[in-house]
Structure 1
Amino acid sequence: MTLSVELLDDMNRRREEILAGGGADKLAQRHEKGLMTARDRLAALFQEATFQEMGTHVQHSARYFGMEKKVLPADGVVVGTGYVGGRLVSAFSQDFTVVGGSLGKMHAKKIVMLMQAAAKLGSPIVAFKDSAGARIQEGVDALSGYGDVFYQNVYLSGVVPQIAVVCGPCAGGAAYSPALMDFIIMTRKNAYMFITGPEVIKAVTGKAVTMDEVGSADMHASVSGNVHFLAEDDTDAVRIVHKLLSYLPSNNSEDPPHHPSPAISLAEDDGMRALIPDDSQKPMDVRGVIEHIVDPGEFFEVHRSFAENLIVGFARIEGMVVGLVANQPAVRAGALDMDAADKGARFIRFCNAFNIPLVTLVDVPGFLPGVEQERGGIIRHGAKLLFAYASCTVPKVTVILRKAYGGSYLAMCSQEMGADFVFAWPTAEIAVMGAEGAIKVLYSKELKAAEDPKAKVRELAAAYRAEFASPYMSAGNGYITDVIDPAITRSTIALSLRKALTKRELRPPKKHGNIPL
């Protein structure tokens, strides 16, 4: 049978209608506002001519209320696969020009179909979220569709990386799918995300709030902690996706994309010594330390605006991909609080799921004291950090820069919590508590009798540091691998990582541990 011109024309006509989404006018309106369309986003994500669409002709059922004669191109979501940086990626993009990108049963089925394909192909998932929510006309079928998507999000958790890009509305139940994914990128403009919006909040509580207060990208990045990366616009969001993917393996059976240097540089870095303040009580900005340790331009911070007393992110050290966790003494003295513990634990568990080695930089005075922290559950939140490190089987290298007191010493990946290598600078202080606090407890009677109690505290504290908090004491008891010159920190970490890449650690068979959520 010869393929007729009529059949080809019909095929092309149908495809053109689908590619037009909600129509030329709606597409033009988005471009006038500086917004990408659903297909624009996928075109920007993938290498040219590598995108293959799935479910192009899928349509909703005609039985739904008021939908009998409506044609919804691609049912409001474009799904398919393509290549990013030479690696296969699965992605879907909701089309706001088609009934607001609302989710119905077939819309959800297309997303689930893609996610199931990603599981078989072992490819990361990128989801562009731009939807008005559940398609009301489809009633409980729309809710069922959300349930199908949520189930797949959980099923694929720890199997392939999942990245959500919130670049439009994401309201109500729709917000839970990105929350179940590994990373959320959100654009500052045009995007909002919430469970209950300002109108519902006012109706129920009587309190008037703005959209920015409950659903903006800035709020979620700095207050709620839901958003990991802020993007200025769609183009910037795609750039962040590309950067993030460059550090991640395609799935949990692969190693991350290491590009190890042929030979590790063993040169000393005198600049590292210069970063250490003369006064041990003066905060040290750990970002300077990070810059000296990682390869130039190779630190990609995650959750930058949230819980700033702890820094987490991806990096390369002599070409090897690592997850980096560091106390930030410049914020809250680097003390661990509830948000910092949550932030660190989530990041550590992601790295463990995807075979990414961990480097931990320690300068922590303890857990943040306060009634709010205790009543808010700092015990439970802090336990998450302990659980995350202890259950982590990837290579773990810890460097104690200065303070490491009490339970926070353990919570920042000490040897007892499974670190493979623990190094300390000569400036490190490792103890149950700070020297001054310890002296006030141990010598309370003597201090009361002293002529100058403050001077006596300083005198005794110096002796306490030298004898009981010295890194050499910990090294002598086998808790520390070695005390090192700060100038060789980078080379020491690099050598340790290179040696630990062959690490294999088996745990007892079980379904999973019960992390203190």
Structure 2
Amino acid sequence: MTATQDSALAYGGTTTISGKTAELHAVRERAVRGPSDRATETQHAKGKLTARERIGLLLDEGSFREVEQLRRHRASGFGLEAKKPYTDGVVTGWGTVYGRTVFVYAHDFRIFGGALGEAHAAKIHKIMDMAIAAGAPLVSLNDGAGARIQEGVSALAGYGGIFRRNTRASGVIPQISVMLGPCAGGAAYSPALTDFVFMVRETSQMFITGPDVVKAVTGEEITQNGLGGADVHAGTSGVAHFAYDDEETCIEEVRYLLSMLPSNNRENPPAAACADPVDRRSEALLEVVPADGNRPYDMRQVIEEIVDEGDYLEIHEHWARNIICALARLDGQVVGIVANQPQFLAGVLDIEASEKAARFVQMCDAFNIPIVTLLDVPGFLPGVDQEHRGIIRHGAKLLYAYCNATVPRISLVLRKAYGGAYIVMDSQSIGADLTFAWPTNEIAVMGAEGAANVIFRRQIQEAQDPEAMRAQMVKEYQTELMHPYYAAERGLVDDVIDPAETRHVLIDSLAMLRTKHADLPARKHGNPPT
């Protein structure tokens, strides 16, 4: 049957409604089946699922409602007039995830390699507009070869429409990009504009210029995965928030993330039933965190002790590992956690850690997620490289994000909080609603040894025993300015608490702040450091 004959089914042949319905079912069956069994086998041989199989994993069973299933391209030339498959290489629609509405589009690599043409783009534009209007999350399942070359500038204009809608939806509805195949050139910018990017090892790649172009221009030889694979973007560039070994696990984690996010910026995140007692004491915290400020420990153990059932979802786990960003629940309510990680670089703030945390704080603020900040920070990372790459500018991103956030904000100093890093990590002076500290806390401009060397430099130099004098001055500085209650006495800490009661204190405080209302000055938008 030719494409023209196929399109004319509705106008010829049988005249009964039942006959027309049968024809419609036949056309839809071809649209669902896809181009051919061989194309499906080729997709599976690469370890990749088809677009509809992926949607089936993402959405609740039987909930998917497809939009523009019978759409075809109108292009001619370059052989396109003889190939007009239904869907035009992208499946769009909506369904539910844990009973809540979610919009989705999925590239079908079996059709034109998932490449974007005019009709393909129009379908995506429509489903994006529907998601924004409905106030529901949008998930893109990406597996496409970029712009459809045969359609020229029309395909490129289609990407422009996607980028504009990504930007318009930013901070309004959650946008999640799931990379399940190649993504090159301008196509990579849409995922970069969304809130979260998921990738699958070995099968998904993202880059602006591919290995062949890199070799031609620079002479460097590199594989696709080496240039823009999942581990590269999850651990080196920071483009990807999550990386998994297979599509099934990846998509299941997308469902988990959606369960932690509100449908839009006018709602609060969904609450969940909690069997973990609110007043559960965490005696283990007394052993997890060493009193000695120079000894490392794993901050994730602290988070596990505090949150419901020890369960949390870490964002950007493999990038900027000296800071932790995670979504978790406290008494069933979603919270965002920002925490220094003493196990890596002693928990200092550097360029990448500042960017990672700033982006996370902005996301939490956009979607009404309270922020809990756990401090154990010795300062900003010193060094020529950091200064020349703009640690001031990048550190200001985190400062701006916290100062701009209007959601409930609680900070807790576990051990040490020194210098500008203490201020930037949501101190009371930049707007934290409540600030708590453990009895082991040291809040100061800098560590005792560094401070003593500056303040008592002359006395130390002139002493008969400089080392003994230095030790004496260090002890004096610690006693006078770094004891655990110094900040509390001056109102910079609201309370010094028993570490074992941390969970209870945080839950009670967040319950009080749940009705917090804060307005920013009227303005078109801020001008954050970039």
Give the TM-score normalised by the residue count of structure 2: 0.95
AA at the equivalent of 2:333: M
* 1:114 paired to 2:127: yes
AA at the equivalent of 1:437: G
AA at the equivalent of 2:180: C
Question: CA 1:499 to 1:263, structure 2 compared with 1: closer, same or farther past 3 Å?
Answer: farther
In the alignment, what sits opposite 2:224? Answer: 211
* 1:220 paired to 2:205: no
Tell me how far apart the structure 2 counterparts of residues 135 and 361 of structure 1 sit (CA, whole Å): 48
AA at the equivalent of 2:31: I
* 1:21 paired to 2:43: no
- Measure how far apart 1:278 and its partner are: 4.2
In the alignment, what sits opposite 2:336? Answer: 323
* 1:434 paired to 2:447: yes
In the alignment, what sits opposite 2:424? Answer: 411
AA at the equivalent of 2:501: I
In the alignment, what sits opposite 1:382? Answer: 395
2:291–2:440 Cα contact (<8 Å) kept: no
Secondary structure in 1 aligned to 2:80?
Answer: coil
* 1:131 paired to 2:136: no
Structure 1 unaligned runs (5+)?
Answer: none
* 1:360 paired to 2:373: yes
In the alignment, what sits opposite 2:3? Answer: none
1:264–1:495 Cα contact (<8 Å) kept: no
In the alignment, what sits opposite 1:37? Answer: 50
1:96–1:131 Cα contact (<8 Å) kept: yes
In the alignment, what sits opposite 1:149? Answer: 162
* 1:276 paired to 2:289: yes
AA at the equivalent of 1:444: R
AA at the equivalent of 1:240: E
Tell me how far apart the structure 2 counterparts of residues 462 and 159 of structure 1 sit (CA, whole Å): 52
In the alignment, what sits opposite 2:382? Answer: 369
Q: Deviations over 1:357-391 (max 9, x none)?
A: 00000000000001110000000000000000000
Secondary structure in 2 aligned to 1:68?
Answer: helix
The size of the alignment, in residue pairs, is 517
Tell me how far apart the structure 2 counterparts of residues 485 and 423 of structure 1 sit (CA, whole Å): 10
- Measure how far apart 1:353 and its partner are: 0.3
Tell me how far apart the structure 2 counterparts of residues 352 and 200 of structure 1 sit (CA, whole Å): 40
- Measure how far apart 1:470 and its partner are: 2.5
In the alignment, what sits opposite 1:287? Answer: 300
Q: Deviations over 1:282-319 (max 9, x none)?
A: 12221111111111142110000000000001000121
Tell me how far apart the structure 2 counterparts of residues 476 and 201 of structure 1 sit (CA, whole Å): 59
AA at the equivalent of 2:480: E
Which of 54, 71, 87 is the equivalent residue of 2:100? 87
Structure 2 unaligned runs (5+)?
Answer: 1-13
- Measure how far apart 1:28 and its partner are: 2.0
- Measure how far apart 1:276 and its partner are: 2.4
AA at the equivalent of 1:304: E
Deviates more, 1:387-396 or 1:504-513: 504-513
Tell me how far apart the structure 2 counterparts of residues 264 and 505 of structure 1 sit (CA, whole Å): 30
Tell me how far apart the structure 2 counterparts of residues 271 and 20 of structure 1 sit (CA, whole Å): 56
Which of 25, 31, 34 is the equivalent residue of 1:12? 25
Question: CA 1:321 to 1:178, structure 2 compared with 1: closer, same or farther past 3 Å?
Answer: same
Secondary structure in 1 aligned to 2:336?
Answer: strand
- Measure how far apart 1:64 and its partner are: 4.7
Tell me how far apart the structure 1 counterparts of residues 280 and 52 of structure 2 sit (CA, whole Å): 49
Tell me how far apart the structure 1 counterparts of residues 134 and 505 of structure 2 sit (CA, whole Å): 38
Q: Deviations over 1:40-61 (max 9, x none)?
A: 0001111111100001111111
Tell me how far apart the structure 1 counterparts of residues 486 and 113 of structure 2 sit (CA, whole Å): 64
In the alignment, what sits opposite 2:407? Answer: 394
- Measure how far apart 1:189 and its partner are: 2.1
1:77–1:92 Cα contact (<8 Å) kept: yes
Deviates more, 1:217-226 or 1:229-238: 229-238
AA at the equivalent of 1:187: V
Tell me how far apart the structure 2 counterparts of residues 279 and 424 of structure 1 sit (CA, whole Å): 16
Tell me how far apart the structure 2 counterparts of residues 515 and 391 of structure 1 sit (CA, whole Å): 10
- Measure how far apart 1:453 and its partner are: 3.1
Tell me how far apart the structure 2 counterparts of residues 384 and 509 of structure 1 sit (CA, whole Å): 21
Give the TM-score normalised by the residue count of structure 1: 0.97
Which of 464, 471, 496 is the equivalent residue of 2:484? 471
Question: CA 1:241 to 1:385, structure 2 compared with 1: closer, same or farther past 3 Å?
Answer: same
- Measure how far apart 1:450 and its partner are: 3.2
Residues 174-213 of structure 1: matches in 2 within 5 Å?
174-213=187-226
Question: CA 1:255 to 1:391, structure 2 compared with 1: closer, same or farther past 3 Å?
Answer: same
- Measure how far apart 1:426 and its partner are: 1.2
Tell me how far apart the structure 2 counterparts of residues 14 and 268 of structure 1 sit (CA, whole Å): 62
AA at the equivalent of 1:231: Y
* 1:258 paired to 2:271: yes
In the alignment, what sits opposite 1:236? Answer: 249
Tell me how far apart the structure 2 counterparts of residues 245 and 279 of structure 1 sit (CA, whole Å): 40
Residues 451-490 of structure 1: matches in 2 within 5 Å?
451-490=464-503
Tell me how far apart the structure 2 counterparts of residues 3 and 371 of structure 1 sit (CA, whole Å): 80
In the alignment, what sits opposite 2:518? Answer: 505
AA at the equivalent of 2:113: G
AA at the equivalent of 1:120: A
Question: CA 1:303 to 1:425, structure 2 compared with 1: closer, same or farther past 3 Å?
Answer: same
Deviates more, 1:224-233 or 1:199-208: 199-208
AA at the equivalent of 1:230: A
Question: CA 1:165 to 1:263, structure 2 compared with 1: closer, same or farther past 3 Å?
Answer: closer
- Measure how far apart 1:407 and its partner are: 0.6
Q: Deviations over 1:186-212 (max 9, x none)?
A: 000211110011110111112222223
In the alignment, what sits opposite 1:308? Answer: 321
- Measure how far apart 1:432 and its partner are: 1.0
AA at the equivalent of 1:168: G
Q: Deviations over 1:413-462 (max 9, x none)?
A: 00011100100111111111111101000111121233443443333222
AA at the equivalent of 1:281: N
In the alignment, what sits opposite 1:165? Answer: 178
Tell me how far apart the structure 2 counterparts of residues 115 and 347 of structure 1 sit (CA, whole Å): 23
Question: CA 1:54 to 1:486, structure 2 compared with 1: closer, same or farther past 3 Å?
Answer: same
AA at the equivalent of 1:396: R
1:314–1:321 Cα contact (<8 Å) kept: yes
Q: Deviations over 1:3-50 (max 9, x none)?
A: 444322321221121112221111122234432100000011111111
Deviates more, 1:476-485 or 1:260-269: 260-269
Tell me how far apart the structure 2 counterparts of residues 278 and 263 of structure 1 sit (CA, whole Å): 28
2:48–2:180 Cα contact (<8 Å) kept: no
AA at the equivalent of 2:59: F
Tell me how far apart the structure 1 counterparts of residues 40 and 308 of structure 2 sit (CA, whole Å): 42
1:73–1:98 Cα contact (<8 Å) kept: no
* 1:99 paired to 2:135: no
- Measure how far apart 1:261 and its partner are: 5.1
- Measure how far apart 1:100 and its partner are: 0.1
Tell me how far apart the structure 2 counterparts of residues 504 and 14 of structure 1 sit (CA, whole Å): 54
Secondary structure in 2 aligned to 1:132?
Answer: coil
AA at the equivalent of 1:350: M
- Measure how far apart 1:65 and its partner are: 3.7
In the alignment, what sits opposite 2:5? Answer: none
1:336–1:367 Cα contact (<8 Å) kept: yes
